[in-house]
Amino acid sequence: MLSKNWLTEKHIDFEYKKYVLLAYLKEVHERFGLNQLYPSLAEIIEHYKSLSAIRENHQHLLSSIPQRISKIDMEKMMITYSKMLEDDALMAEIESIINFSIPKFEYYLREGKKIYDFIEEHLHIQSVGLVPLYPDDGYMFLRGGESADTKVYRYHITIYEQPNEKYRAIHTEYVKSYSKGFINTFESIKTDLIREDKRLPNPAAYAVETEMELPLEETFLPIATRALVKHVATTSCRE
């Protein structure tokens, strides 16, 4: 894991920060090679946004610094201006680190997105039984690989509204697992869950499957939850 304040922590030195960053990205590369996307992909997104904002604000700061007359050439009728506050060596070092780092983060953003998109394309989502009028509360069944058990999660989707946009967030809680077999169909699992928990007499239930063998916590679960949010939002709009 790369600290959120890695840019300014300890020594602000280009060679040192280059070593720190490349060591971190080597770990990210290894995790991506194992299809382990999270938390690395989320971290890279945050680091990229942070560095981009710093660079943008730094450039804005420099452009807003007032100027003063440093030289008047009467023969050429030219006036030369200079910044009242010059960019010092420390800021120059930070800028060098940022300019080196942003392309590195961009590369792994693209690589992570390729893996994410490929896995998402191989997810199959289907409703189990009738979908209730309120599908934002219910169960998500995960089954990955050839011989995988079915893992059940309770989910709740919350909608946050802002003036120009709506955001959907999902919270999941692990419930239990069912071994693979003819008895434990998705329909029978849903029936069993209703019998055990009377609080949801007619819950929404969605099965998310893939033929791929994926790390559960690092990849399958986070991608499945995001895919489910999009699926529920899309089907709700159609209805």
Distance CA 202, CA 127 (A): 13
Phi-psi region of 87 (alpha: psi -120 to 50; beta: other; left: phi over 0): beta
Count: domains in the chain: 2
* DSSP 3-state of 177: strand
Summarize pLDDT for 2-26 with one digit per residue, the tens. 998 898 888 889 999 999 999 999 9
Cis peptide bond N-terminal to 39, omega within 30: yes
Residues 134, 208, single domain; the answer is: yes
82 and 156 fall within a common domain:
no
Q: Which of 103, 121, 139 is the last residue of a domain?
A: 121
**In the predicted model, is pLDDT for residue 73 greater than 70?**
no
Is the residue at 83 inside a domain?
A: yes
**Are 136 and 210 found together in one domain?**
yes
CB–CB of 31/218 below 8 Å? yes
For residues 71 and 142, state if they share a domain. Answer: no
Fill in the amino acid letter for 151.
K
Is the residue at 75 inside a domain? yes
Q: Has residue 198 been placed in a domain?
A: yes
Give the model confidence (pLDDT) of 167-183 as tens digits.
788 999 999 999 987 78
Note whether residue 1 is domain-resident.
no
Tell me which residue range forms the domain holding 117. 14-121
Q: Which of 68, 93, 121 is the last residue of a domain?
A: 121
The verdict on 61 and 160 lying in the same domain is no
Q: Are residues 146 and 69 in the same domain?
A: no
Read off the tokens for 127: 């409703």
Within 8 A by CB and 6+ apart from 229, the residues are: 157, 168, 169, 170
From 81-85, 132-136, 159-163, 213-217, the region with the lowest mean pLDDT: 81-85
pLDDT confidence band for 85 (50 / 70 / 90): very low
Query: 128 and 220 in one domain?
Result: yes
Q: Which of 73, 92, 121 is the last residue of a domain?
A: 121
Task: Characterise 172 by phi-psi region: left (phi > 0), alpha (psi -120 to 50), beta (else).
Answer: beta
